[in-house]
A and B are shown apart, each in its own frame.
Chain A
Amino acid sequence: MTRVWTVVLSVWAMLAIVAVLAWSQRPAPAAAPQPAAQTLVVKGANGKQQLVLVQPGTATAPHATTSTSGVVKP
């Protein structure tokens, strides 16, 4: 009888380990599809037209912002 219970517990323990591993290694959710970029024709240098890839409105935050440098007090 003891041997039977040992086998049952071992099986349950193994199932638990497999379940934990499966949970921790689950694939990341797929990223939401990005809206497609559009190409615009813009009048550039010397009146020449050039193609500019336009990024559609996106909720993705920029990594940084460029501007004329502000002044902070030391």
Chain B
Amino acid sequence: MTRRLERLEFRAVGTTCAAAVTTGGPGDLRRAARALSAAKAEVAACERALSRFDPASDLSLLNAAEGEWTAVDRRLVESLRLAIRMREDTGGRFDPTVLPALVAAGYDRSFEQLTPRPARSAHGWRAGATIEVDEQAGCVRIEAGAAVDLGGIGKGYAATRALEAMAEAWPALPGGLVDLGGDLAIAGETPERGPWRIAIEDARTPGATLGTLLLHGGGVATSGRDRRRFGPDGGLHHLIDPATGRPAAPGPLTVTVVAPTAAEAEGHATAVAISTREAAAAHVAAHPRVAALYVPAEGEPHVLGPLPLARQRLVVRVAA
């Protein structure tokens, strides 16, 4: 039987998305369609729960709750629990409570609706606001005056959930991939029975790639300041340094991170994207299940960390 990759492309979470599954023949087409549809539906459900731009989302309701406990969708419960863990794992360089600073910088609405305005100072804002999660009750609370943005982890979480949804819709799924604007969750076999080949875009050269990752599973995420620039003359970017409350000065142009899940990859990528190369190397060295490709605005990219994940390896073809 001919194995092939069935693919579904769609728009969600403000970007271009795709889901793909490996099929073993014509008999799998119906199962593939069901799995791909489940992935798309799960991404939509995550967006309804986690978007800060939808005033009816669970996250928006939580941000407006003024410190009260709020019953929310389990996806928000899970992603907040993960965000708390990532804040601890990254020493606070990933912080989901940077939203007031991000709004003050000018990223106060969905990106395509932004109009240039000078940045304001985030007076009174401080990093590390308290988030409490009661998983059994499905309730969460953030301290009064604080607000949460899951932009540094939400797409990775949604990709992870969508991959799980595909496996639930098709329990014998041979392999699949979910791609949310370049943040990827991967599992199982490719049609060729080899590893999944993930190209790393070179932000410095349009149309070029820096190399190819060969992965048998896990997550990949890229974060950077090459896109989503705003403010007068596009001089600001969305990567807020929790230490200053402003768009981070140090950091690479882009960083690509491989981790056990897409959500973790995105959280680590967000943290490394505001780090000097030395700090990024130390961060990766402290997390043995994480590897990164750190791409400065000028000069050679740096491979950070080994990749000890079981059945997984990092393959980099250095650009000529």
A binding-site residues for B, Cβ under 8 Å: 37, 40, 42-46, 50, 52-57, 60-74
Contacts and interface: CB of A to CB of B under 8 A. Distances in A.
B198 A63 contact: yes
Contacts, number: 128
Contact of A73 (B112, B181, B199): B112
Interface of B: 5, 11, 14-16, 18, 20, 111-112, 155, 177, 179-184, 190, 196-201, 203, 209, 211-214, 220-228, 254, 256, 281-282, 284-285, 302-306, 313-318
User: Chain A interface secondary structure, helix, strand, loop or mixed?
Assistant: loop
A72 B14 contact: yes
B46 to A, nearest CB: 15
A37 B226 CA distance: 31
Given A37-B315, A45-B305, A60-B197, A71 B182 contact: no
B201 A55 contact: no
A44 B302 contact: yes
Contacts of A43: 302
B199 A65 contact: yes
User: Chain B interface secondary structure, helix, strand, loop or mixed?
Assistant: strand
A3 to B, nearest CB: 42
Contacts of B111: 71
B180 A69 contact: yes
A70 B227 contact: yes
A46 B254 CA distance: 19
Contact of A45 (B201, B214, B304): B304
Nearest to B280: A45
A32 to B, nearest CB: 12
B316 A54 contact: yes
Q: Which residue, A56, A60, A62, A64, has most C-beta atoms of chain B within 10 A?
A: A64
A57 B213 CA distance: 13
A62 B315 contact: no
Contacts of A50: 303, 306
Q: Which residue, A46, A69, A73, has most C-beta atoms of chain B within 10 A?
A: A69
Nearest to A34: B194
Which 4 A-B pairs have CB atoms at the shortest separation, nearest pair first? Answer: A69-B181, A45-B281, A67-B201, A62-B199
Contact of B177 (A46, A63, A73): A63
